[in-house]
Chains A and B, each alone.
Chain A
């Protein structure tokens, strides 16, 4: 596709339920990033994939959060036993990065998660 796509665009769930958020990066982009944007917290890094491996998971807030990437393309962010504080917009980005600096990240439109 032309850009990064994410689904669903909106997700409302009940506290305690599990949710899966999907990201389709730009074709050929080897690097994929997940960020979270919430009120009062700004934009926070969650996890970074290079190919199918995740060299940097340092931003995942708890063990309820996990992510995987298959085939060097699609990624899924899973939140188990959701809590109200998980409510946020989850943004995915991809870049052509193979290593080093100065790699523009292209962002998707985000998934707005609301936990009731």
Chain B
């Protein structure tokens, strides 16, 4: 079965700093999803990556999928307290449908 490993597990940064979260898969990724979760709430969709080498940006968040489609990174530029939360990467398996998730990265942004 596919496993996703996220690093770091937690991250504390000062407002305005840049940061990167990584997601590494044990198998080739067919669809890689990034979600954000605030405590006690559901998951908010951020981005989906399909193709090797693909890069997508939304506001100050950029996600990339490497050429071999086994690793993705999420980069936040000039972080703000509103970026705080748990970031989860999720991957589709070989038959689509269900998502397997990483353990999550807890991000704290201090003002």
Contact = CB atoms under 8 A, between A and B. Distances in A.
Q: Do A and B come from one complex?
A: yes
Interface string A23-40: 000000001010100000
Contacts, number: 63
A48 B48 contact: no
Interface residues of B, number: 24
A55 B92 CA distance: 15
A99 B40 CA distance: 31
A82 B74 CA distance: 38
Contacts of B90: 43
Contact of B104 (A42, A59, A91, A109): A42
A65 B101 CA distance: 21
A31 B45 contact: no
B45 A104 contact: yes
A115 to B, nearest CB: 18
Nearest to B95: A56
A48 B45 contact: no
B42 interface: yes
Interface of B: 30-31, 33, 35, 40-45, 48, 50, 88, 90, 92, 96-104
